[in-house]
Amino acid sequence: MRRPRPNPRPAPAGPPVELAIEAMGGEGDGVAVGPAFVPFTLPGERVLAKGRGDRRELVEVLAASADRVTPPCPHFFACGGCALQHWAHEPYLAWKVERLRGTLARQHLEVEFLPAFAVAPQTRRRVALHARRGSREAARLGYKMRKSWDLVDIAVCPISDPRIQAAVPALKRLAAPLFEHPKSAPTLHTTLTDTGIDVDITGVEAKSGGLSADGRMQLAERAAEADFARVTLAGEMAYLARQPTVRLGPATVALPPGAFLQATPGAEAAMAAFVAENAQGASRIADLYCGVGTFTFRLAEIAPVHAADFAPEAVHALTSALATAPGLKGVAAEARDLVRRPVLAEELRKTDVAVFDPPRAGAAEQAAELARSSVARVLGVSCNPATFARDARILVDAGFQLERVLPVDQFLWSPHIELVGVFSR
């Protein structure tokens, strides 16, 4: 039998080459003819780059753009979290909006764009911090490096709320007992709430029985030392000092472990105000993919709301919070899989405004039912312009018009942008 030949060695990359950056790619890399994608570069620059194929690495900026600025974070070039700290704010935001415009145009959607809402640095209240084994007293904690499973052990983070940043040493101590099993790769989903820091930990190896009693005791002791509000292990209670709560419009909501919450309070307030403004005059509202009530309580100040979400724990939190907000027009909430069992057009017969805020996969099944319904106005909230454009096309083909869009830059210095769209018959 002939032995298979070993795979040939990859061709050497060769010496660095000079490239002219002509545009920005979708992930925030500069693009030269070829194409060749070079991170940390800007349109109009001449750079020296190494590598081969269409992915290169920056060696030196030979001629810098006038829009280049000094990144505010010392970890920027190593950390995989941010991609665009080297770009001045105005051209950076304009590029994001233009990308959004292009995404909608591919579905032949032309629409009025309102001025974008952009969050400020140091406002993010929800981060996912990866932990790796360190000492018995403190784990390594931070974000993943670019093109690596290793971590940038963060000292500062200009996107995070300063109260999260101040808690990093305590979070490192909290994570230290989590490495009893060699396969554990914990992630600390950290949320700043009105009553303190809430941490839900995933990635602790469970097949061996999970964290030992001694490990759980250490976890609770360190949570108490740091005065965290709550610590859970994949939703299971490990420590509770105070129920984590947030204020959503007129209501105070007790958050379930690991609950979805908009990443920044400012973006949440801007989107909720825009949704409420465009729902004025409604007689009955549907809030689909309602979560814990980001929009529900504000909408219920206008008209009765039928709220639905696939997560029973989120719906339970929403329902329980109704007692904290007297004077609402009424809320009926249900746990419902809106992909397998969307709210049907017949169920929306008396509804004149509908709001949908789905996960990144979008709401194609629910959009089809809204298209069949007699609903007069639809407000679509999305963190994924591509699936929003697909769902918008379903509504427009059924006779809706996409009137205007509010771009929302909630994930600062990343290539991602969110939006709220207003549809009317």
Predicted pLDDT at 13: 61
Strands 187-193 and 196-202 turn out to be antiparallel
Q: Mean pLDDT for the chain?
A: 94
0.75 exceeded by the pTM?
A: yes
Q: What is the pLDDT of residue 404?
A: 97
Q: Which residue would you say has higher pLDDT here, 221 or 208?
A: 221
Stretch 392-411: mean pLDDT: 98
Dihedral of alpha carbons 279, 266, 261, 371, sign? positive
12: pLDDT strictly greater than 50 = yes
Tens-digit pLDDT profile for residues 41-81: 999 999 999 998 889 999 999 999 999 999 999 999 999 99
pLDDT at 326: 94
Q: Is 90 exceeded by the pLDDT of residue 6?
A: no
Residue closest to 203 by CA, chosen among 187, 219, 215: 187
Domains of the chain with CATH codes: 1-68 (2.40.50.140), 94-119+264-424 (3.40.50.150), 126-245 (2.40.50.1070)
Contacts of 291 (CB under 8 A, 6+ apart): 259, 260, 309, 311, 314, 318, 357
pLDDT digits (tens, 9 = 90+) for 235-251: 999 999 999 999 999 99
Residue 121 is predicted with a pLDDT of: 97
pLDDT at 10 > cutoff 90: no
Peptide bond into 35 cis (omega under 30): yes
Q: Is the pLDDT of residue 5 over 50?
A: no
In this structure, are residues 155 and 74 in contact, taking their beta carbons and an 8 Å threshold? yes
pLDDT in tens, 162-184: 999 999 999 999 999 999 998 88
Please state, in angstroms and as integers, the Cα–Cα distance from residue 74 to each residue in 113, 249, 392, following that order: 35, 37, 41
- For the stretch 347-399, pLDDT in tens is 999 999 999 999 999 999 999 999 999 999 999 999 999 999 999 999 999 99
Catalytic residue among 79, 82, 157, 383: 383
- DSSP state string for 201-268: EE----TT-SS-HHHHHHHHHHHHHHT-SEEEETTEEEEESS--EEEETTEEEEPPTT----S-HHHH
Query: Is residue 383 flagged as an active site residue?
Result: yes
Average of per-residue pLDDT across 280-307: 98
How high is the pLDDT of residue 11?
46
* Full strand arrangement of the beta sheet holding 236-240: 151-153, 140-144, 126-132, 187-193, 196-202, 230-233, 236-240
